[in-house]
Amino acid sequence: MILLAAEGGEAKHSPIVPLIPELILGTIAFAIVCFVLMKFVFPRMEETFRARVDAIEGGIKRAEEAQAEANSLLEQYRAQLAEARTEAARIRDEARADAEGIRQDVLAKAREESDRIIAAGREQLAAQRESIVRDLRSEVGTLAVDLASKIVGESLADEARSRGTVDRFISDLDSTGGRR
């Protein structure tokens, strides 16, 4: 042991060198603390670390599964969206075809109505023309008889004669009109 001599003759212990009983007592206390730590504290710490690792790895695994499920759902939604777009395009095409069919039906009905109106107008015109021609024939006949009476100088008031004269005059007009 290293003892230092003091001025008064007493020996003092060096603060750098530990005392043997303190060294033994420190070693025993250290061993007890190590034993308690190894027996009780470290196993609990290992369980806690293992639980954390499992939680983290489980969280990562759950996150990966959730990501895979989300990707699956995304692909499913994309497929549904593509199908919906295809369906919408088909519906638009059908609507266009229906609209074109309706348009053609409306045009056909309009043409039929137009043809019917034109035919009715032509029939009406023909009827009016016949009526006008009859009226004109009677007037022309009367005028022809009057004119012929003035030219011939005799009265053509007799109905049979006037009708024959009128008919001859009209047939002459018709044959003259047919030559032009």
Distance CA 149, CA 79 (A): 102
pLDDT of residue 6: 44
Taking the CA atoms of the chain, what radius of gyration do you get in angstroms? 66
pLDDT of residue 38: 94
Q: Report which of 143, 137, 145 is spatially closest to residue 162, judged by C-alpha positions.
A: 145
pLDDT of residue 177: 65
pLDDT of residue 1: 45
The token pair that represents 79 in the structure block: 């497929």
pLDDT of residue 129: 86
Whole-structure pTM value: 0.39
Q: How high is the mean pLDDT in each 10-residue block of the chain (180 residues)?
A: 49 80 95 96 94 91 92 95 95 94 93 93 90 80 74 62 69 68
CA 161-178-144 angle, 5° bins: 30
> For the chain, which residues make up each domain, given as ranges?
19-122
